[in-house]
Structure formats: C-alpha cells, structure tokens
Structure 1
Amino acid sequence: MTSLTSLWDLQAMADFKMDNTAGIYMDYYTCPELQGFTGVIKSHSEDFIVTEVDGSGQLVCLTSCQIPPPPVVGVAKELKSRPLLSSVPPLEELVSEETVKLLQSLAEKTRTLGQPVIDPVKLGCYEEKEVRGHLHIAVRSKFPVLKTTTEKDAQGGVCVCALGDPKYPRLTEVMTPEDSEGLLTFVNTSPKDETHTLTGDYTRDQRTKIHLRLHETFGALLSTHTLTEQERKRKLSRNQTTPPPGSHISVRFRVKKRATEGSFVTKFVLRKRNIETLAAIELLSGVLDCQPSQFSCAGIKDKKAVTTQHMSVTDVSADRLSAANDHPDVAGFLETGDYAYCHASIQTGDHSGNHFTIVVRDVTVDDEVVAMAVRGVGERGFVNYFGPQRFGGGTSSARVALAMLRGEHRSAVDLILTSTTSEQGEAAEARDYYVTTGDVAGTLEKMPLYKTRERYVLKALHRHGNSDYGCVCALNSIPYTWRKLYLHGLSSLLWNYLASWRLTEYGLQPVEGDLVMGPTSADKPSVCVLSLDEVDRYTISDVVLPCVGTSSTLPANKVGGRLTEIMAALGVSLASFRMPRLGLNSSGAYRKLMAYPKQLSWRRCERPLPVPGPTAIDCGTSEGKSSGGSELADAGKSSGGSELADGGKSSGGSELADGGKSVELSFSLSKATYATVLLRELMKTST
C-alpha cells in the first residue's frame, strides 16, 4: 500500500499529484487472482454513455421538445422585516430600572475599555417571541455598543442576555466613536430600505480602510458608497437636509431583489456531450442571462461522455430553454427537452443511480478472460472507491481543501491560481505570469474567459487585496457548490486511503468496531458500531466508512485510530470542517465500503470510430493520467479527453479505427458510484 509518510508529509503536499491511482490510494482488488485485460476507453464520447436513473427506477431519456403551457404562479411572499422602532415600547417599560442601570454600566465599560465586555447581563426569560424581539431592538437602540443574545436556561426557559458588541471596538479603529455607534444603531434598528451617512471628516485613505472594515465586519449585509460633495448637494434638493462638506460614506442594506410575481421551477432533461455538468450549467446560464445558482441537478456526470440527466432551473421558461438549443455556443454540446413546470427544484441525490454503456476498444484477450472478469465483479463486487474524476485535474482539490481547513486562505488562493503541469496555452501562461509577478490585474487580463473559477478569485483579489481578509473574499467569490467540492475532494481522498488500509488490515469480512447503517430518524441516517456478538449477523456489503465531517462517527477499531493519526498529522480535526468565514459546514456522510453492479453484461462488438478521434485512454498501463471528467473541471471548455496512454503517449482514434476487437459493457450503479472504478477492477489496471 502507498506509504502514508511519503504522501501525507506536509512538505510533500506542495508537490502532491492527483494524476494516477497511486496518488488517490486505490490499492485493493477484490478479485486479485483473476486475469485482467488491456483496452482503450473514451476514445470517443459515444464510447461512454451515461443515463441517469430517476428515483422511481426509470431511465431518464430525452424524447420531446414540446413546450408546456405557461406556469401558474402566485404573488411572491413579502420579505420578513423587523418591527419598526416606533412600534417598540421603551426599554424602561420592558425591564426594571435596576436592569437599565446594569446595561448602562455595561455600555460604559465597553466604551471605556475599547473591547467587548464578555460578562453578560441577564434581562430575563420570555416565552413570547414578539416580546423578545421588542427587547432586542429596545436594548440595541438605547445602547448600540451592546448586543443581545437568546439562550435557554437550565429549566428550559428562553432568556435574553446583553453583552458588549465585538463590532464596536473594531469599528472605532477606523472611524470615530460617534460614527461607530450611529452605524450600529442603523444596522440594529432601521428598516431595510433606509440609508445612513457617516458624518466624520475622513481622508481618502481613511475612507478606503472604512470600506474594507465594514465589508469585513458585516459581509453581504451592507453596501457602502462614497458620496462626493456634488452628489450630496443633488440629494439636498430632494431631501431638504444640510449635508456636511466634503465626501462622505453612505451605507445601505443590500436587499435581494424580488420579482412582483412568484418564482416557478422548470424541470427538463439535459443531454450533454464532451462537457462536465458544472461547465454545462455555466454555459447555459451565460446563454440564458441568469445565475448558475438557479440551476440544480441530482448529480454530476462524466465530462468525456454522452450523458442524460434531469435538471431544474428557477424563473427560466421552457421556451427560453428550447431557444437556447440553437445558440452557437450550445449546439453540439448540449440539448434540452421534456420540459415540465413544477413547484420544487431537484436536489442533490434525487436519483437512484446511473446506467452505463461503455465500449472498451482494442481488447485482444480471449472471451473467457473477459467473461471470468465480469463474473467475478458481478459476484464479489468491487471496492467503492472515489474515482480520479472526484479530485479534479492539475491542482488537487484536496490540497486546496487542506489549506482552507487550516485557515491558510492565502495558500488556498495560490493553489487555485498556480500553474499545473498538464495545462497548456493561455491559461498556463496566465498562471505562470501570476507566479512570477504576483500581478493580479495583469493575470486577470491574461486569464481566458472560460477559466471561470480562477477569474472569480482574481476579480475578488483585485477588489479586496491579498490580505487574509481579501483571500477570504476571493474564496467566497467561488460559487458555494464549487467551494464545497474542494472539501469533498479531501474527504474522498481520506476515504480511499481508509478503505485500502481497512481491507489490507482486516480483509473482506466485517470485524468488531466496524460501522454499519442503523435506523433512519427524521430523515437523518445513523450508524451503529458492531460489537463482537453482532459481527456474524452482517457481511462486508453492510460495512460503511465515514466521509469525514463535523458529526462523523469513527470506527471503533484500528481503522478509526488510523484516521485520527492521519488528521492529526495534517493539522486538522473533525471540528475543522466547520468554516463559518467561508460559509462551509460539512457534517459528513457514510459510504458503503463495497459496491455491486446491477444488470452487468458484456458482448463483443464491431464499432468503428465516427471520426479520427481525439486523444484516447489506454487502460493497459498505470503510467498516465486519470480518466474521466473532473468535478472541478474547467468551465466551458472540453479537453481532448482524459488519457491513460501507453508510456505517456496518446493513441489517436485513427490508429484504432483499423482494428482491435471491442467489448461493450452494460451495467447500472447506485448513485455516487464510479464506473471507472468498476473498470479498474475488471481490467486490473489504472482507471
């Protein structure tokens, strides 16, 4: 098995490669005694057909382009708002005079000490939520340097407490105490449609620091803008107020816009070719002039393949989707159809699995070898490893995640922008320029438009700088789904290592301390730790391993101890997977150790390549690049394919068109199970 010391050494992580199966710990075969065979997969996208299986067990097919009648939508719900300050009773009517004096003393201490006082003042317990809401506003309006919290006491009552607001000393570092208190009063008590102006006379450099501090402190809650004296004079004619001289900072709430009509959801079937799912979403959102976050799907499909799956999109009509089929950027890559309006978006995992039809070319072994390999996998299954496409190409998603978990935000940003050995052309030149010069603006000019993730990061760095705060903003500029995939990459890598280590240590039978799935309560799965008396009641097909997160239960045997050792060596813990600054909180999941294909069959076939093909994948060697699309693939561009070429050389489709026997495999897998991993078990080679 691959050495933990060599690959998980923190210094070695800088050169950690994710382009062979040794690097992702796929080391165990369930049928090592059976002969494998060599062949070429994904020599053309039509050689790898993936069809989603929906929740009812039906194949998802693209059958119709008919436009349904327009959806019936209602009026959008009004945004919830806090009570107006004028409707809130005075603080003296809500609490005793003695409590008001305690709050006054707490506020004075906070102002004098220049730091929040952490000893809270208990205001009392209140059952009615409305009363608690009034109390929160009354305290914060009278004493803006304080903040209020709600917590339960030992008897289960809901109590309101007050303590020093940590925002106040941070604000006074860059602005006057008067402006600091006035801003906190505005934030805590004002309606969302009001604006506030700082009255202090600040220089341009001071205003820049204030803008950055407010964004750092309040995030997306507030929007700030410097008003020149001329702009304030224009406001004078409308508002009849006397503005202070010079330029001043105006603050307003950043409120999401709501349409006058309610939202609707369009469900459709997407068939794509030679493009990864997230890249397809990015492409469609650009063509339809909407946000990628409006799209959702049950799962991410392979890149170099022809795949069919259900998708949904909010507030985009079926006729607009249909018209996008003819767009020059979409034609040849994407096709949509089978439109229907529904009330809820598709969620991740809303399918039961995928059906695969895969052509392996240039298979020269006897039929008996193939038949025995297929029979062995069908009977004994295969290790349910995460395939290479889980981890992305070039920059490892696991290394980025590790830097994020440690709070090394600058390192995470640099890893995303660092050049990779497999990349060429404009993108590689832009990365090399960044490494050499550190010039963010220049790198942004050079970075190709299809490098969406890198451009998000560069734009944020250009706006917020490369301090730790600026790097946090850069990471948060990456869409949430993509950010979370980095964490998935690391937890998947740990899972692969743990699976190989556990099978090497204990073999293909359950042992004491293993985890199995328990009863599900409130739609949340639970796990049970096997005792010695329970082992005989289970098989290896029942055993699960954790995809680590904040709430993970670890195996109560050597496997759990090994995982604890690894995470300690990496400088992370389960609690590290909660990262509020990055808006991430991965609670973890559990994954079956073994996977078993359904309806596995094979046949010999003669299938010439449609055209002299792009670069192929030679599965007869372990010296090459991982096959399949990347979950963190480059948006908008399809590569010539993912390769495992003999000796590092690519095999063109034209070389394969003349000869070689082809084998067609057909099978279904449960969701989140990788066909390339099944092929690895069949062929006894790298995927």
Structure 2
Amino acid sequence: MRLLLNTMEEIAPDFSFLSYMSDHIGFYGTIKNSPADFVVTEIDVTGQLVTEVNEGLQTLPSNERNFKKAKLSPKIKDSLAGAARDICEAVVEKVDNVFEAQDLPDREADQYNLFNTLLSLDVQESLNNFACSVRSAFECKASGGAQCELSLGQFPDKNARAGVHSAVRQTFPILLTFTRSSEILVKPNLDYQELSLLTSEEEADKFFTFLDAKVENSRFTFQPDVCKEHRTSVHHFISKKFGKLVETKSFSEKDTDGLQKVCITVRFRERKGSSGKRQRSEENPDIFTAFTLEKENLETLEAISYLASSIGVLPSDFSYAGIKDKKAITYQSVVVKKVTPERLRGVEGLLEKKGLKIYNIHPTCQHLHLGQLNGNHFSIVVRDVRCHTGDTSEDLEKRVHEAVRNVKNRGFINYYGPQRFGKGQNIQSHKIGLALLKGEMTQAIKLFFTPEEGDDPVNKAKLYFLQTGDMKGTISLMPAYKVRERMVLRALNRYGMSDEGCERGWLSIPHSMRIFYIHAYCSKIWNDATSYRISTYGSKVVEGDLVLINQDTNETTSLSDRVHIVTVSEEKEEIYSMHQVVLPMPGHSIRYPTNQVGEWYREALATAGLHSCKFRVGSLQMNIPGCYRHIIKYPYNLICEPIIETDAQSQENYSEHSISKNATLKMSFKLDASCYATVCLREMMKCNF
C-alpha cells in the first residue's frame, strides 16, 4: 500500500491502472467521433425524459427532493414565518430611518420590538451583554475577545433563522451572525473594529446597518473629511472588504461659509447585463422559469455563462441537476430565477447562434438542486469496432455479446469518468482542487492558467500570462468564450497576484465553478480508493465495509443513519451484497471504512498534505461535507445493435445482419444519476477513453 501511495500523486487520472469488474476480453472501438455520436438526455425525478416534458408543467414540489428537513406543525410554521415577517418589516423601517435621517433610534426599544417574538429574555440579555463586552474590547483595541462566540439557540425553521440574522445584524452592527447546522451564533465583527479606527463608532454603526440591509438604490454618506490621505484610507478599506458589493466616490461641495467640503458616498453596485443597461424592473426574486436546454460541444458551465450574458443576469441565478458531457449533444433541465418565461423566449434566436436551444419554457416554483434527477439516457455510436490487438479470435460478434451480457449481469465499477478531471496532459482539475484545499491560492491560479501543447489562442493567452503576468494583455488575447478565465483575469487585474488577489480571482467565478475543482480532487481519491478496495478484497463484502441500507426510506432518515459498518458475523453470514457497498467522497461529515481501505484513505490524504484538512475553505465560501458513492452500478435497458453503412449513408438493420469487422455499433441504455457512460463502456469494451 505504501508503494501505491508514493506514486499516486505523480499519476494523472489515467484509467489504465483502474480495476475491472469482469474478466471478459472486450473489443476495440472509438466514441465521440462527433457530438451527434454521443447523445445524453436527462431523466427527471419522475422518470420522464426532459425532452418529453410538456410546456406549462410545474416542477416537482420540494418534498420530492431527498433533503433532511425539520418537521414542524403548520401552526408553528405560520407563527415563525409571521414573526420573521414582523422582524423584516421592523428592520426596513429602521433602515429607512438610517438612510433618511442618518440617526439610529433608541437601541433598547428596537431590541425589544425585534427580538421578543423569537428570543427569550435570558437570550436577549446575554446578547446585549455580549455586544457590550465586544464594544469594550474594541475600544481598548483588544483582540483577545475576537475569538468569542455566543449561541442564540437552535432555529430549525429557515424563516425564523433569517429573521434572527437580520435583527441581530441591524441592531448590533458590531456583531456578525452565522449558522452551524440549525444553531445561530454571534461573534465580533472585526471589519467593524477596523472601520471604527478610521471613523467614529456612530458612523461605523450606521455604515454596517446600511450594508447589511442591501436596500436597492440606497446610499450612505460619511461625514465631511478635509484630509485627503484619510479619505483615501476609507476608500481603500471599503474597496478591499466590500468592493464586489458597493462602490465609493468622493463628492465636493461648498458649505454656507464658502469652505470646500468633501464627503465619501457609498452605493450598491448595479447589476448589469451584456448591454451595459440596468436590469429590467420585471425581475423578481420570487420568479422561477424552467426550461430544457439543448447544447452541443459545450460544457454546461460555459453554456450557463452564455445564457447569463444573453439574458443579462448572473450565472449564479441558474440552477441545474447535473453537469453534462462537452463533446456531445445533451438535453437537461435548467431553472433561472428572476426571469419570466416571456423574457426567456425573447432570446431564443440569439442563443441558437451559440449552439444552444431552449424548449419547454414554463414557470415553476423553485430552483433545482445538484442531483435532483433520476438519471440519464444515452444513445451512443461506437465506430471502428474490431477485436483488440493480439486477440486472435475471428468472432467479433461473440466478443460483443459476451461483453454486453457481463455488464448487464455483473455491472461495472462506478468510477468517476475522465471528463470529471479535464483532458489536458499538463494539468487536470484535481490538481487545482488540491491546491485550493491546501489554501495555496496563488499556486491554484498558476495551475489554472497552465497551457497545454499547441498554439491555439487559449494556450497562447495562458502562456503569455505565465511569462509576463500582464493581465490586461492576457484578457485581450483570451477568446470571449473562455468566460471563467476572463472573469479571473479581470479580478487579478484589479487586485493583483497576492494571496488575497488570487482569492478575489477565485471568488469572481460562481460557486458551482469553484467547487468543481475540489470535487474533482475528491473524485480522484474515490477512484483510487475504489481500485484499492477491489484489488484488496475483490467483489466480496468484508468486515469494515460501508453499506447503504434502507435505500427506500423517506427523507426523514438521514444519510449517516443509513450507512452501516459490516461486522464479522455479517460477513460470515453474507448478509449484504456488493451492490450495497459504498465508499466515501472525502469531506468533514463522512465515516470511513474500518478495514484496510479506511487506513488507505488516511494515508492518501496525509501524503497529499491534507492530514489536518477540515474540508472547509472559508475564504472561498466552500464547504465540503462529503458523500457516499456505490462501488457497483448497472445499466438499464441496455441495447446493442449493429449499423450497416453503405456509401456514407447509415442504414440500420437489426435482424438480418451480424456484426462484422470494422463495424459500427449503436448502444442505448440508462444510468443512475452521477454515473458515467464512458465508464460503463470502458468495462464493456476494455478500452480507456
């Protein structure tokens, strides 16, 4: 095992060393000769192909999603929601006072009005005392109290938590709130302390009240300041801490005595679409529009960026159930918020120019979650089918039928496919993910811009960046369709290549794009661990394995309660089958096997420098709880038929012709969510794609 770990980091995600489930010989063939050879259609949670969804059909209610939620009675829910609304109304009224009169109302009266519905008197008193102690520590310029936390209790209901967060931050700007599970905690706001050293505490209070409220079109103005150096310090502080949210500008005017006054005004940044105009007033955060997205030869994230640019919203306003192949024609469900169906229909023609089509546009009630699908249907053409080099058999048809039968009966090892890691030889996504987990932001940026071989425009731009560090020049060289790279370059141009600047660069791209790289690294660990598990124990369930039980239980049963460690007696009695065995994706909330595989995980993570990793990257707002993945999966409705080609015309005949050398095969099958067709084909054909 030590030898395996020593070489593991040096090996790219090369599938040639991974295990197989069956020992048949397989056959050779090529896939993805063109996007039309690889068609992927998403299957929604009802088991229906997304291409068959009728317009006007609403997406499933939230109880169809397998999420763990607190069960509250309707009466309690209504009460909590009403309390949250009361708090929000009180906060808005208070904020209006701040913006218009720039004078805070009496704290004690506000505190009672805002909190008495959700917090007990004891908790209110503790909160007030905690805020006073923090203020005293800040006045003394002490940092010892900066690590203190105070719990306000458990709040299972989301509306109640939102109300408490708003109320605390508006009433006590000197504090920050955060949630741990369903518990709300408060801690000192160190940004407040830093600003209070530049301005008065009163202005710091008002500024953070303004900042937290995020009232559209609102502004905040600091007191006049005659010192240019001091104004510059305030500008730099706000830009450094909140530059993505607000912008500052100095305004000069004469007072009644004819003296020149200069004030700093802060306002929230406007969201702009591709036209540079403010977004249309029809946008509403409660509006959700669902549609089926057809893309060809595009990554899902690239397609989403195109959609966002065309409509004039942010990529983060879109949600989808899964990421689909690039070199393929794919169909998947997507939901966009704050955009009406009529507005979405208005850009259909523009999207077609970029290789995108949208269908089945209809209003819905909520966004999608990753994994909120039943699976995918694949229609694949395998070309140049023949026996493997060195296989002396003349019966290609026998090889194909044997392979199909084995995969149907024994399944395939559920590895993450090569598209999970990127196809470049110089750098793969998992290496970037490892650097991010280790907090090596600058190294992650350099890896992100490592060019591949070739002199295409993208590689030329990346090479230029690494050689010169010229962000502006690189932006001019980078093709417009490379949305992620251009967003990162713009941030680096603004903030520089320091660790903080690189963090800003990563924060400039949507969360789904950032966490993709960390998931790629965790996926590589899972692949390697699975290969080790199969080579060590084979296809027999052994003591210390993790098995997933009660798979048909409802959402009230947590995943951790369904993962069971196999005992000695259960191994002897063969209680469990191999299809129930799971292995964990690394994270902070998972259990590891108690046999040699668990030791393998610990040693692998230690070798990579992650022995103390918490799988949380706070600076990038990424939280990796981990999950469990079945080792063995099976294809459904697997059909393999020859295509007889004549004069470049493909004519299908499934009954009169047998498979001949250099034939073309058409395969179709369904796979569960998060399974890779290329991995299923790898098991069947014994080819590494």
**Number of the residue aligned with 1:594:** 632
2:437 is matched with: 405
Q: In the aligned structure 1, how far is the partner of 2:644 from the partner of 2:445?
A: 48
Change (3 A) 1:354 1:119: closer
1:21 aligns with 2:9: no
Distance 1:151 1:35, change over 3 A: closer
- Counterpart in 2 of 1:646? none
1:508 pairs with 2:502: no
Deviation of residue 680 (structure 1)? 0.8
Q: Report the equivalent of 2:316.
A: 293
Match of 1:58 among 48, 51, 56: 48
Give the equivalent residue in structure 2 for 1:86: 105
Question: Which position in structure 1 is the counterpart of 2:76?
Answer: none
Structure 2: distance between partners of 1:605 and 1:380: 26
- The match for 2:117 is none
Structure 2 unaligned blocks of 5 or more = 59-84, 95-103, 113-120, 272-278, 388-395, 651-659
Aligned 8 A contact 1:362 1:662 in 2: yes
Shift of 1:97: 13
CA offsets, 1:521-557, max 9 Å, x none?
A: 5363221111112231101110001111111111111
Which residue in 1 is equivalent to 2:622? 584
Q: Residue 112 and residue 298 in structure 1: after superposition, are their counterparts in 2 closer, same or farther (change >3 A)?
A: closer
Contact 1:358 1:666 in 2 (8 A): yes
Q: Distance in 1 between matches of 2:5 and 2:38?
A: 37
Partner of 1:662 in structure 2? 664
- Give the TM-score of the pair, scaled to structure 2: 0.76
- Corresponding position of 2:558: 524
- CA distance in 2: counterparts of 1:311 and 1:542, whole angstroms: 31
**Contact 2:581 2:631 survives alignment (8 Å):** yes
Residue 340, structure 1, aligned to residue 362, structure 2:
yes
CA distance in 2, matches of 1:225, 1:444: 26
1:393 to 388, 408, 423: 423
In the aligned structure 2, how far is the partner of 1:125 from the partner of 1:314? Answer: 32
Alignment partners' CA distance in 2, 1:516 and 1:378: 22
| Cα distance between partner residues in 1 of 2:594 and 2:668 | 38
1:351 alignment partner AA: L
Residue 68 of structure 1 and its aligned partner are, at CA, apart by: 9.9
Structure 2 counterparts to residues 273-352 of structure 1, below 5 A: 273-327=296-350, 330-331=352-353, 333-352=355-374
The answer to whether the aligner puts 1:603 opposite 2:597 as a matched pair is no
Closer, same or farther in 2 for the Cα pair 1:67/1:374, shift >3 Å? Answer: closer
Quick one: structure 1 residues 346 and 371, their matched pair in 2 at CA, closer, same or farther if it must change by over 3 Å? same
Q: What residue number does 2:222 align with?
A: 197
Q: Which residue of 2 aligns with 1:31?
A: 22
Structure 1 equivalent of residue 100 of structure 2 = none
SS in 2 for 1:31: coil
Does residue 547 (structure 1) correspond to residue 577 (structure 2)? The answer is no
Q: Which residue of 1 aligns with 2:688?
A: 686
Shift of 1:300: 1.7
The alpha-carbon distance between structure 1 residues 299 and 243, as it changes in their structure 2 partners (threshold 3 A), is farther
Question: Aligned pair in 2 of structure 1 residues 610, 392: CA closer, same or farther (>3 Å)?
Answer: farther
CA distance in 2, matches of 1:4, 1:503: 14
Q: Distance in 1 between matches of 2:399 and 2:56?
A: 50
1:168 shift after superposition = 4.8
**Offset, 1:342:** 2.0
Shift of residue 209 of structure 1?
5.0
Distance in 2, matches of 1:38 and 1:126, equals 58
Q: Would the alpha carbon gap of residues 275 and 184 (structure 1) be closer, same or farther in structure 2, given more than 3 Å must change?
A: same
TM-score (norm 1): 0.76
Which runs of structure 2 are paired with 1:361-380 in the superposition (5 Å)?
361-365=383-387, 366-380=396-410
Residues 266-304 of structure 1 deviation map (CA, whole Å, 9 limit, x = unaligned)? 222222222222222222333333332333222222122
CA–CA distance in structure 1, aligned partners of residues 517 and 33 of structure 2: 29
Match of 1:167 among 182, 191, 194: 191
Alignment of 1:150-299 (within 5 A): 165-171=189-195, 176=198, 178-179=199-200, 182-188=203-209, 192=215, 193-197=218-222, 199-203=224-228, 210-218=234-242, 223-229=246-252, 232=253, 245=260, 247-252=262-267, 263-299=286-322
* Aligned partners of 2:420 and 2:520 also within 8 Å: yes
Amino acid at match of 2:529: L
SS in 2 for 1:552: coil
Moved more, 450-459 or 102-111: 102-111
- Return the alpha-carbon distance in structure 2 between the equivalents of residues 197 and 260 of structure 1: 31
Which deviations, in whole Å up to 9, do the C-alpha atoms of 1:53-77 show, x marking residues without a partner? Answer: 222222232688x8999xxxxxxx9
- 1:463 counterpart residue number: 494
> What is the root-mean-square deviation of aligned Cα atoms in Å?
4.3
Distance 1:202 1:335 in 2: 56
Residues 449/515 of structure 1: CA separation in 2 closer, same or farther (3 Å cut): same
Q: 2:512 aligns with which of 449, 460, 481?
A: 481
In the alignment, which residue of structure 2 is the partner of 1:48?
38
**Corresponding pairs, count:** 600
Q: Which residue of structure 1 aligns with residue 74 of structure 2? A: none
Map 1:607-618 to 2 at 5 A. Answer: 607=645
- Residues 63 and 338, structure 1, Cα contact 8 Å, conserved in 2: yes
Question: For the structure 1 residues 321 and 91, does the alpha-carbon distance in structure 2 shift closer, same or farther, using more than 3 Å as the test?
Answer: closer
Cα distance in 2 for residues equivalent to 1:371 and 1:608: 24
Match of residue 448 from structure 2 = 416
- What does residue 627 of structure 1 align with? none
Which range moves more in the overlay, 127-136 or 568-577? 127-136
Structure with larger RCO (C-alpha < 8 A, sep 6+): 1
1:110 to 120, 123, 138: 138
Preserved contact between residue 170 and residue 209 of structure 2 (Cα < 8 Å): no
SS at match of 1:510: coil
Identity %: 32
Q: Name the counterpart of 1:448.
A: 479
Contact map agreement 1:272 1:333 (CA 8 A) in 2: yes
Question: Secondary structure of 2:50's partner?
Answer: coil
Q: Which whole-Å CA distance do the structure 1 matches of 2:127 and 2:298 have between them?
A: 64
Distance 1:123 1:301 in 2: 42
Gap regions ≥5 residues in structure 1: 70-76, 613-657
Displacement of 1:203: 3.9
Residue 481 of structure 1: CA displacement?
Answer: 1.1
Residues 619-665 of structure 1 deviation map (CA, whole Å, 9 limit, x = unaligned)? xxxxxxxxxxxxxxxxxxxxxxxxxxxxxxxxxxxxxxx99311122
Going from structure 1 to structure 2, the CA distance change for 1:432 and 1:511 (only over 3 Å counts) comes to same
Matched AA of 1:525:
L
Provide the secondary structure at the position in 2 that maps to 1:249. Answer: strand
SS in 2 for 1:362: strand
- Counterpart for residue 654 of structure 2: none
Contact residue 224 and residue 249 of structure 1 kept, 8 A: no
Report the alpha carbon displacement of residue 251 of structure 1 after superposing the two structures with TM: 2.9
Structure 2 distance, partners of 1:7, 1:405, is 20
State whether structure 2 residue 479 is matched by structure 1 residue 437: no
Instruction: Give the Cα separation in 2 of the matches to 1:356 and 1:87.
Output: 64
**Conserved 8 A contact 1:600-1:666:** yes
Q: Which shows bigger deviation, 309-318 or 551-560?
A: 309-318
Code of the aligned partner of 1:376: N
Q: Distance in 1 between matches of 2:126 and 2:327?
A: 71
